[in-house]
Amino acid sequence: MFRRAIVRAPGPNFAEGLTTVNLGVPDTERALAQHAAYCEALERCGLALTRLPADVRHADATFVEDTAVLTPRGAILTRPGAASRAGEVEAIRGPLAAFYRGFRTIEAPGTLDGGDVCEAEGLMLIGISARTNEAGAGQLAALMEEEGIRCALVDIREVPGILHLKSGVAYLGDGRFVAIDALVRHPALRGCDVVPVDPSEAYASNCVRVNSRLLFAAGYPRLETELRRLGYDLLRLEMSEFQKMDGGLSCLSLRF
């Protein structure tokens, strides 16, 4: 059960952030409206929010998930793979200190983005990507194994169209995942119940289970229909402006 989440509103320079896709320039006002709806959805799921102001020093700072990995034993501050995002980690330290006494950290030469970490009840999938390198993934795996959490590394560097691991896979609870074609038969998911995502709806694989609800990007009817058939209670959210900046539903909050 999640009880809290930390969120940060997109700033006026949101459109200046990093992106690997060519979907046009995001509308910042629309992004603010979509972010507000996202926050409301988290509250509807029962979470108390810590709302951080926009960070005009860092255009990508609304994607707070990349700055930390939160576990029952504490907070691990990451080391983002994009140099322009390094300051975001220090900016999240203070808000997290209200809930966590101490921090462990990913150290150089390791890099790690939180978007490459998929937690699944005793199993943690760690993506090796353009932003998370083998050293960073190995450091996190060692820390998790100290907590009794089994880890599996998933190399996505040759998987087209996804920036982070959670761009292509999400944990729905009860041993079930959703995954894009390139990952649905990955050895790390062997023995798991995996819902395949049609290639035309790959973006929708970044959905987020929050207590009894499932946050889901609007506009992907095939996967939505299948998840509703499986009994999930979906909260549909417009994500167009964040998609333009490589962002998904999981990216916009730290949930704990």
Handedness of CA 231, 232, 237, 239 (dihedral sign): negative
Q: What is the pLDDT of residues 42-61, one digit of tens each?
A: 999 999 999 999 999 999 99
- Tell me what pLDDT residue 72 has: 87
User: Taking the mean position of all CA atoms in its chain, how far away is CA 111?
Assistant: 16
pLDDT at 141 over 90: yes
pTM: 0.97
Give the model's confidence band at 237: pLDDT under 50 very low, under 70 low, under 90 confident, else very high: very high
Active-site residue list = 164, 251
Domains in the chain, ordered, with CATH? 4-255 (3.75.10.10)
What average pLDDT does the segment 27-38 reach? 98
